[in-house]
Amino acid sequence: REALAVTAQLCGPELERYGRCVAASPGSWHRDCHQLSLSVTECASNHPLVRRIRRDCSESFGAFERCLRDRPRDTAQCQPHVTKFLLCAQNVTSGATPAATPGANPTG
C-alpha cells in the first residue's frame, strides 16, 4: 500500500491521465495510452521504494502486463495477476523502513 500511495502521491497527475485514457479506449488502450504509461513509469522510477518493487516484483508485474496485452477487451481476467503483484509489493514495503510520508499510519 505504501508504494502505491507513494506512486499516487508523486505521480498522481500521470496516473490519472493514464487511467482516463485506458477507460476511454477499451479496445486500443495498449496502443493509444503507451506514451502515458511511459510517463507514469518514468515518474515512479524516481522513488527508491518504487524502484525496489519494480526489481523484486518484476516477474508478477510482467505477467500482469502480458495478461493485459493478451486480453485487451477482457482485462477483468487479469485480476489474479494484479493480486499477486500487489501482494509482492506489500511484502517489499513491509520489509522496508517506514517512510515519512504524509498520512502514513505509524505501526506502533
Q: Mind giving me the DSSP string for 36-84?
A: HHHHHHHHHTTSHHHHHHHHHTHHHHHHHHHHHHH-TT-GGGGHHHHHH
Q: Is residue 19 part of a domain?
A: yes
pLDDT at 26 over 50: yes
Mean pLDDT of 23-44: 87
Percentage of the chain with pLDDT > 70? 81
**Which of 27, 46, 65 lies at the terminal end of a domain, its last residue?**
46
Q: Is residue 100 part of a domain?
A: no
Cα 41 from Cα 23, distance rounded (Å): 18
In this prediction, residue 72 carries a pLDDT of 78
pLDDT at 106 over 70: no
Which domain, by its residues, includes 68? 48-95
pTM: 0.52
Q: Is residue 65 part of a domain?
A: yes
Q: Please, are residues 42 and 7 in contact by the beta-carbon 8 Å criterion?
A: no
| Judgement on whether residues 17 and 56 belong to the same structural domain of the protein | no
| Judgement on whether residues 21 and 5 belong to the same structural domain of the protein | yes
Q: Is residue 104 part of a domain?
A: no
In this prediction, residue 32 carries a pLDDT of 92
| Judgement on whether residues 36 and 61 belong to the same structural domain of the protein | no
Q: How confident is the prediction for the chain on average, in pLDDT?
A: 78
Domain count, the chain: 2
| Judgement on whether residues 39 and 1 belong to the same structural domain of the protein | yes
| Judgement on whether residues 60 and 25 belong to the same structural domain of the protein | no
Q: Is residue 108 part of a domain?
A: no
* pLDDT tens digit sequence for 43-52: 877 778 778 8
